Structure 1
Amino acid sequence: MAWQAPIVVDPPSPGGGRRVTVRGEAVGLAHSDKDLIEFLRRAGLEDADMILDDPHLVEWRGGRAHQGYAA
């Protein structure tokens, strides 16, 4: 099995938002970086705002990082 970042932000959905998965568990549908940070905080990552651009921790799929939340 290929290595995967522990946090995955999926491509924008047709209805808006990006599904967020932490360690293989879906944690929510983010409509902004603020939502994403809150999901990560709830998952136990206190410095979530500091790691969003770390490719070893966060994999942004199907779109540019920090964009594409809206439909």
Structure 2
Amino acid sequence: MTTIDDFLVLIRDEIGLAVGPEHVDMPLGLVPGWDSMHLLALLTALERQIGRPISLPDVLQAESLNRIHEVVVRT
């Protein structure tokens, strides 16, 4: 999963949130339906997909889906 489009597909498939490109740079608190439980479920799904741990502190500091994606790609 290297592209932001793949990342959005994972969120839709694994988390069940209807997110699209218009939500990528939106603050997480404004993403429709987003809550902290989605963050934990997303982190678990991402680690399962990429096969390695992701820095929880870095993800917690991310303020948008795009920033979470950047953390995942650079990890």
Which is bigger in relative contact order (C-alpha 8 A, separation at least 6)? Answer: 1
Normalized per residue, which structure has more strand? 1
The normalised TM-score by structure 2 is 0.34
The normalised TM-score by structure 1 is 0.36
Normalized per residue, which structure has more helix? 2
